Amino acid sequence: MNRWKTWVGVAISLAAIWWAVQGVEWREVGEALRDADYGLLAAVFVLAPIVNVGFRAIRWKILLLPAGRVPLAGCVSATAVGLMANNVLPARIGEFVRAYALGKREEVPTGTAFGSLFVERMFDGFALVGLLYLVTLVQDLPGWADTTARVALWIFLGFLAFQVWLLFRAHRFVAFAQWVSRKLFEGRFEEPIERAIVTFADGFHLLRRPLLIVVSLVLAVAQWIAIATTYWIGMAAFDLGAGWAGALFTNSIVALGVAVPSSPGFVGTYQALVVKSLEAFRIDRTAAFTFSVGFHAVNYLSVTAVGLFYFFREGLSWSELEHSEEELERELDALGWSATIREHQRLFISAEAVPRTTA
C-alpha cells in the first residue's frame, strides 16, 4: 500500500473530526450516550451485516452472472472480509480485498471480480444520487443541500455517460491517453493508463443483459433504503427527530462522502458528514455528533466482527490483504493489457462492434 495514501487519509480525517467537534458540549454527549435506547441500537447491530454484507453479496453475484455462476456463499465471505479490511486497514483497500478473496475462494479471475465492482459502484451512485435528489424535492432544505443534490446528479450522469462511451471505445481512449502521456510525460504513464481502462471495461459485461441491469438497479435502491432504515432506527435510539427524510438524506450524503480518502473505518469523515447532513434538519450539533459516534461504533463493531469471522474461516492472512492490490496488478500484467481489452470487448460487448486494435 502507498504510504502517501495512508497519510493523506489520516490528515483528512483529523481535519474532519476537528471541524465536527466545534461547539460540541461534551457533558451532553456523555448524557446522551448514557440515555440512548440500547434495544434499538442492538437491532442496528444485528441488521448492519445483513444490509451491508448480505444485500451487497446478492448484488455482486448477479453482476458476475455473465462471467459464470458464483456461489452466494463466496460472495458473502469476500464482501464481509472486504468491508472489514476497510475498517481496520489504511488506504481503503477493501475493494481489492473483495476481489482477491473471491478469486482465491472461487474460480473467478481477480481482474473480472474487481472490474465488476466498478459496475456495482455505478449502481450505488445512481441509487444514492436519486434518493438524495428525491429528498430535496419533498423536503424544505437549505440551499446548500439542494445545490449538493443537483451537482451530484450532474456529475454522476456525466461520469455514467463517460463509462458507457468507454465501454465501446476503450481502444480509442487508450490510444489517445497514451499519446498524451508520450507527448507530455515521455510515456511514463502508458501502462497505468492502460491498466485503469482495462479495469473499467472489465466489469461492464452486464450492459449486454437489460434484465440484469433492471434487477441490479432495483436491488441497489432496495439496499440503500434498507441501510437508511438502520439510520432511522439509530436516530430513534438517540431521539433526534429527523424523521425518515433525515435518515435517507444523511445516509446518502455519508455514503457518497466517504469516497474521499480517510483513516481506517472512515473515522472523522463519517462524523463530519453526519453533523453537516443533520444540520439541514436543524438538529443540534452536539446531538448530531453524539449520534454519529454511537451509530458509527455499532456499525463498525458489527460489520468488523462478521468480517473477522470470515477472515479466519477462509484462512487468510493480514499480509495477503495488504498486498491484494499488487496481486491484482500482477494478474492483469500476466494477461497482457492490450489483449485483455480486446478479449473483454469480444466477450462482453459484441465482436462485431469492436474494431481490431494492435497489441
Looking at the predicted structure, is the pLDDT value of residue 260 above 90? no
The pLDDT of residue 355 is 33
Give the chain's domain count: 1
Instruction: Look at residue 119 and tell me whether its pLDDT is greater than 90.
Output: no
Q: Considering the domain boundaries, does residue 69 fall inside one?
A: yes
For residue 185 the three cell numbers come to: 510525460
258 inside domain: yes
Which of 119, 110, 106 is CA-nearest to residue 63?
A: 119
**pTM assigned to the model:** 0.84
The DSSP line for 185-233 is HTTTTHHHHHHHHHHHHHTGGGGG-HHHHHHHHHHHHHHHHHHHHHHHH
Lowest mean pLDDT among 188-197, 315-324, 330-339: 330-339
pLDDT at res. 359: 35
Q: Which of 129, 1, 106 is nearest to 57 (CA)?
A: 106
In a domain, 13, yes or no: yes
Tell me which residue range forms the domain holding 32: 3-353
List, for residues 264-281, the tens digit of each pLDDT value: 999 999 999 999 999 999
DSSP symbols for 40-71: HHHHHHHHHHIIIIIHHHHHHHHHTGGG----
Lowest mean pLDDT among 61-70, 180-189, 308-317, 325-334: 325-334
Q: How many degrees, rounded to 5, is the angle at CA 118 between CA 1 and CA 296?
A: 65
Residue 359 included in any domain:
no
Q: Is residue 309 part of a domain?
A: yes
Query: What amino acid is encoded at 46 in this protein?
Result: V
* For residue 327, pLDDT beyond 80: no
Q: Specify if 221 maps to a domain.
A: yes
pLDDT over 70 at 182, yes or no: yes
Least confident of 75-84, 183-192, 332-341: 332-341
The pLDDT tens digits for 41-86 are 999 999 999 999 999 999 999 988 877 889 999 999 999 999 999 9
Would you place residue 189 in the very low, low, confident or very high pLDDT band (cuts 50, 70, 90)?
low
Residue 358 included in any domain = no
Confidence of residue 239 (pLDDT cuts 50, 70, 90): very high
For the chain, percent of residues with pLDDT exceeding 90: 53
Q: What is the pLDDT of residue 180?
A: 75
Question: Under a CB-based contact definition with an 8 Å cutoff, are residues 195 and 337 in contact?
Answer: yes
Give the CA angle between residues 34, 37, 42 to the nearest 5°. Answer: 110
Residue 257 lies in a domain: yes
